[in-house]
Structure 1
């Protein structure tokens, strides 16, 4: 017997066997197609399950689950404390976790225009850590690395800017599949474009994943009237996800309809979370099912190059979040005040989500204060369009658009063995709608079909 204890938010998936036939789980794959991640303990096969967060397992010699017991359940018990006390506690806890994870190692810090990595930069600068920073931007897209470079200079961190090129996906697709076993689609992880550079670095990554979920509202104000089920459903279904999942469900002749099945599963999981506050409950759901099966899967591309540390994943941070009043977590208040208190220079660097404003004046990101920036930005995009430059906002635009990309994409979608797994009618429908109807809406559907094609050729041993 072997005992395995899974962290509250695990860094990677751990597989185990169950007493079931070795057969493809078509229903699970439909959920994967709709959302981009597998739900709960699902995998591609019925006899393979993923160990769940905050749970201790006993496995037999054959790797089958014999016993499981939860040691942590998400809760919401806000303490009656002031914001000042909450900020002091966050400061002490966050810096303690960062210091413990860093040790005497060199830190590889990805910087962005947001707040999670900026919060890490503040802590690492305060702790006088040895840091090598970097950032990336899409070719012909927003120059996110320019904001990151300002932060690196303010901290005196060495800095590398990376530009994500077009067409890189097809050269690294086999390697990417070997790394994540096709448990996430391939157009999101920009890391594959610079994996060679990552491997040449020395140190350990410190990543800010999940900070934006912990330190913000569980639900947006405009969505407060929605039910918990509708909130999760709205959040997890990708554009075009329902279309491709429903088409696959029908083509595989599964019982009932996909949408009813997915809503039933989500509601069942929601019912198991004993939290009354709607925002806290949504945050708990995301941390239980989204973080381990989507966010953590993408960590594998970092882990392929160097060890990975995640301060927001620490068990103590998870417990801290459960006891902080929701109004203190909302709108990134704790992170904003932490940065302002520790390093005013970093706080004055523009916040990408609130361009061109910073942490001291971002509330001015409204008319008429933001009008000059909006006009300038619009003129710049129009001038680029006249010059024939397309403004790139998403990775799939670099990898799917253009003649060469299209040729590579079609070679996977219309591979002979994949056409035995997925009806050509489904592929034709999604591909043609992507090409001629709405590429933004159907890009996810096409990306998921690409992922399933690669999985079918490499891992489908049913």
Structure 2
């Protein structure tokens, strides 16, 4: 017998055996297709489950679950504490965690134009061995210029990357081996530079989860039904529910996929015993979305070097559960931390509020932002005219154009995907993407591509 205790938010996933036959869990796959991640403990298979966060398990010698008990329950227990005292506590906790995770190691720090990695840069500014990097899309916003200014201010070594068009086709099988086809392939852009990371350092310091922990959904107190509606909008991908419904019907599942989806959400949300709407949705998204989507993509980093994530530390979650919601809203703690401890970083453009920075972002409204918006719109229109469209999403570089179309069609139409998905559905959603609405149906195409790689990996024709 073996005892396993999972963190509040695990890095990666642990799959164990459960009861049932080794056959595809088609309901779970439909949810995966609709949202881009597997829900709760679901996997591709009925006899395999992922261990849940914050739980202690007893496993037998065959790695089957004997018993389980939650050791952590999400809660909202706000203390009577002022913002300044909260900031002092956050500063002490955050810098302690970062130091423990990176002390005496050569650190690799991805830097974006946002706040999470900038907050880490502040905590690491006196670390003697930090190699930072950033990337941008050719024809997109020059995010690496912001990152380079942050790195220079902190005296970090810096490397700039440009995401190449069509890189996915050279590494897609390697990526399938790494993430086990538990997330689609256009989000882990770090695959484009994976070989370059090998000589940069010893450990990654990653800022995942900061934007969810240190912000609020900004919602009033909602009814349970209204909370379900918000979650539905947050989780369902454009075009995803259409593909999931088509598969649900083709596989003869009975009823409607939408009803199954809502039933699962209701059951899980009822299990979170928090009254405050914003705190409840944060807990749900952390427990069921981040743990099965963001955490799965960490496997790409882990394939090169160990990863550290200060926002994944159990102490950080326990702290968050006691912080009044108004202190978390609008990124107040992170902004105040940066402004107080590294004011030079606060003066650098905040990409999400460009062209403003942490001192002036409150001016990102009319009429103050009109000159930038007008100039930016004119620049994009001109580039469109000369055949240089603005790129802001990875699928635009990996799926669009003749050079990408050939390998995409090969995987969709010449692989074992047709043993799982009817050919007419593959063709229908490919044509939707090509002829109808590329933005809406890019997710559908990406999920079909993921299932194609899954089929090739397992060489199994399901009994539908």
* TM-score interval, normalised by the smaller of the two chains: over 0.9
CA shift at 1:84, angstroms? Answer: 0.5
- How do residues 196-211 of structure 1 correspond to structure 2 at under 5 angstroms? 196-211=195-210
Shift of residue 198 of structure 1? Answer: 1.2
Q: CA deviation at 1:375?
A: 1.5
Query: For residues 295-352 of structure 1, what are the alpha-carbon distances to aligned partners after superposition, in whole Å with 9 as ceiling and x for unaligned?
Result: 0001000001111000000000000000000000000000000000001100000000
Query: 1:223 & 1:153 partners in 2: Cα distance?
Result: 43
Whole-angstrom CA distance in 2 between matches of 1:185 and 1:285: 22
Report the Cα offset of residue 460 of structure 1: 4.6
User: Does the Cα contact within 8 Å between 1:141 and 1:393 map onto a contact in 2?
Assistant: yes
Show the counterpart of 1:57.
57
Partners of 1:459 and 1:114 lie apart in 2 by 39
Shift of 1:232: 0.9
Q: Structure 1 residues 66 and 341, CA, compared in 2 at 3 Å: closer, same or farther?
A: same
1:23 counterpart residue number: 23
The aligned counterpart of 2:358 is 359
Which deviations, in whole Å up to 9, do the C-alpha atoms of 1:229-287 show, x marking residues without a partner?
11111100011111111111011110211000010000100000000000000000011
SS, match of residue 162 in structure 2 = strand
Matched, 1:99 2:80: no
Separation in 2, partners of 1:196, 1:139: 20
User: Which deviates more, 71-80 or 422-431?
Assistant: 422-431
Q: Distance in 1 between matches of 2:182 and 2:241?
A: 18
> SS of 2:358's equivalent?
coil
Matched, 1:244 2:213: no
Aligned residue number for residue 452 of structure 1: 451
Answer whether contact 1:223 1:231 (CA < 8 A) is retained. no
SS in 1 for 2:76: coil
Q: Distance in 2 between matches of 1:108 and 1:271?
A: 40
TM-score by length of 1: 0.98
1:185 match: 184
CA distance in 2, matches of 1:416, 1:99: 48
CA deviation string 1:416-444 (max 9, x = no partner): 52212101121122111111110000000
Structure 1 partner of 2:123: 123
| Comparing 415-424 and 97-106, the one that deviates more | 415-424
**Which residue matches 1:36?**
36
Structure 2 unaligned residues grouped into runs of 5+: none
Q: Do 2:10 and 2:53's aligned partners in 1 also have CA atoms closer than 8 Å? A: yes
Match of 2:58, SS state, is strand
SS of residue in 2 equivalent to 1:275: coil
Residue in 1 aligned with 2:166? 167
Which ranges of 4 or more aligned residues in structure 1 deviate by more than 3 Å?
A: 220-226
Question: How has the CA–CA distance of structure 1 residues 71 and 221 changed in structure 2, closer, same or farther, with 3 Å as cutoff?
Answer: closer
CA distance in 2, matches of 1:220, 1:437: 34
- The residue aligned with 1:370 is 369
For residues 254 and 220 of structure 1, what CA distance do their matches in structure 2 show? 38
TM superposition shift of 1:224? 6.0
| Counterpart secondary structure, 2:68 | strand
2:66 counterpart residue number = 66
**1:414 maps to 2:413:** yes
Q: Number of aligned pairs? A: 460
Deviation, 1:415, is 2.2
Distance in 1 separating the partners of 2:109 and 2:452? 34
Match for residue 145 of structure 2? 146
Query: Which residue number in structure 2 is paired with residue 347 of structure 1?
Result: 346
Contact 1:141 1:392 in 2 (8 A): yes
Following TM superposition, by how much is the alpha carbon of 1:158 offset from its aligned partner in structure 2, in angstroms? 0.6
Q: Deviations over 1:358-385 (max 9, x none)?
A: 0011000011101111111112112211
Shift in Å, 1:216: 0.5
SS in 2 for 1:227: helix
Q: Is the 8 A contact 2:218 2:329 kept in 1?
A: no
Cα offset, 1:211, TM superposition:
0.3
Q: CA deviation at 1:19?
A: 1.7
- 1:111 aligned residue: 111
Residue 106 of structure 1, CA deviation: 1.1
Q: 1:315 maps to which residue? A: 314
CA distance in 2, matches of 1:392, 1:224: 37
Q: 1:51 and 1:311 mapped to 2: Cα distance?
A: 22
- In structure 1, the partner of 2:135 is 136
**Secondary structure of 2:124's aligned partner:** helix
**2:282 — aligned with what?**
283
Given that 2:415 and 2:452 are in contact with CA atoms closer than 8 Å, whether structure 1 keeps it comes out as: no
CA distance in 1, matches of 2:61, 2:376: 61
CA pair 94-51 structure 1, distance change in 2 beyond 3 A = same
Q: Tell me, yes or no, if the aligned pair for 1:107 and 1:129 is still in contact at 8 Å.
A: no
Tell me the equivalent position of 1:230. Answer: 229
TM superposition shift of 1:201:
2.1
User: In 2 relative to 1, CA 335–416 (structure 1 residues): closer, same or farther, beyond 3 Å?
Assistant: closer
What's the counterpart of residue 14 of structure 2? 14
Shift of 1:293: 0.3
Partner of 1:326: 325
Normalised by the length of structure 2, the TM-score is 0.97
